[in-house]
């Protein structure tokens, strides 16, 4: 009787020229993927079905994806094998094999000689909002009538003509919300392009954890000293309004 292959799990392999290794940063956080090198070729294996058809894979230049069948490598959706299975390769998880580097950039985000280009991308993971940025002009007529218990768990800081509120539960004002990750404040619905970058940025630029790093979707960042935050109260808000700190 012929073997029923309908339930067979597809094992994916891939190859990429070593000259294009830097492009693998886009999938560096796929820790299920294994990587090995052979002469001038980088080999990868362990992709899930979803990863094999993902945009991250499709955008990699000179990337060739194979299906492993009976010890032979077939290009996807082909019936003729392209290569034999490579043996004697030393496999390592991709997140351990690839060193995360900080590319030079013209973005003067950090005010130091070494610049870091950081990109944010939409995330499908839902995160609890912990901060709210909203216009002072819009909320000043509402905040003074809120009950004390809604204010006492909130810290706040003035940023130009806006107020950033942090706490739980947040005030129900219209504005832009943020979630926290390793001391970063990221816009709701966004995450770093390379997830492993989060803790590295903290160690490099906020090792003492004395600041919050407030990010915009375009990858720009604002450093906020934690000691500059104050407890929210009607009196603290009125004092700020009178002194016109946001002007």
Residue 9 to residues 44, 123, 182: CA-CA distances in angstroms? 17, 28, 37
Tell whether omega for the bond before 233 is within 30 degrees of 0, i.e. cis. no
What does the pLDDT look like over 155-186, one tens digit per residue?
988 888 888 999 988 888 889 999 999 889 99
pLDDT number for residue 241 = 63
CA distance 95 to 46: 13
CA distance 82 to 118: 38
On whether the CB atoms of residues 72 and 79 are closer than 8 A, the answer is: no
Which residues make beta-bridge pairs with 231? 155
What does the pLDDT look like over 70-101, one tens digit per residue?
889 999 888 888 888 877 788 888 877 765 44
Q: Which residues of 6-33 are buried (b: 16+ CB within 10 A; e: fewer)?
A: eeeeeebbbbbeeeeeebbbbbbbbeeb
Question: Rounded to 5 degrees, what are φ and ψ at 34?
Answer: -105, 150
Question: Rounded to 5 degrees, what are φ and ψ at 158?
Answer: -95, 130
| DSSP 8-state code for residue 14 | E
Averaged pLDDT for residues 102-121? 50
pLDDT number for residue 89 = 83
Higher pLDDT, 213 or 140: 213
Length of the chain: 247
- The position carrying tokens 């706040």 is 156
Averaged pLDDT for residues 179-197? 87
pLDDT number for residue 8 = 59
């Amino acid at each position: 009787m012929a073997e029923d292959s309908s339930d067979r799990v597809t094992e994916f392999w891939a190859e990429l020229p070593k000259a294009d290794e830097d492009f693998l940063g886009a999938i560096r956080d796929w820790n299920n993927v294994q990587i090995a090198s052979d002469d001038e070729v980088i080999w990868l294996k362990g992709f899930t079905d979803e990863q094999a058809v993902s945009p991250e894979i499709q955008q990699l230049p000179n990337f060739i994806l194979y299906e492993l069948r009976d010890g032979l490598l077939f290009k996807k959706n082909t019936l003729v094998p392209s290569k034999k299975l490579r043996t004697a390769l030393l496999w390592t998880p991709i997140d351990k094999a690839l060193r995360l580097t900080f590319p030079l950039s013209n973005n003067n985000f950090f005010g130091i000689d070494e610049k870091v280009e950081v990109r944010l991308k939409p995330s499908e993971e839902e995160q609890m909002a912990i901060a709210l940025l909203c216009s002072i002009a819009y909320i000043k007529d509402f905040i003074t009538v809120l009950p004390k218990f809604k204010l006492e768990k909130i810290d706040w800081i003035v940023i130009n003509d806006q107020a950033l509120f942090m706490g739980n539960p947040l005030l129900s004002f219209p504005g832009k919300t943020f979630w926290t990750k390793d001391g970063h404040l990221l816009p709701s619905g966004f995450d770093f392009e390379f997830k492993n970058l989060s803790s590295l940025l903290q160690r490099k630029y906020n090792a003492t954890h004395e600041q919050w790093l407030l990010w915009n979707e375009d990858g720009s960042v604002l450093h906020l000293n934690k000691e500059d935050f104050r407890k929210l109260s009607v009196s603290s808000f009125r004092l700020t309004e009178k002194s016109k700190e946001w002007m």
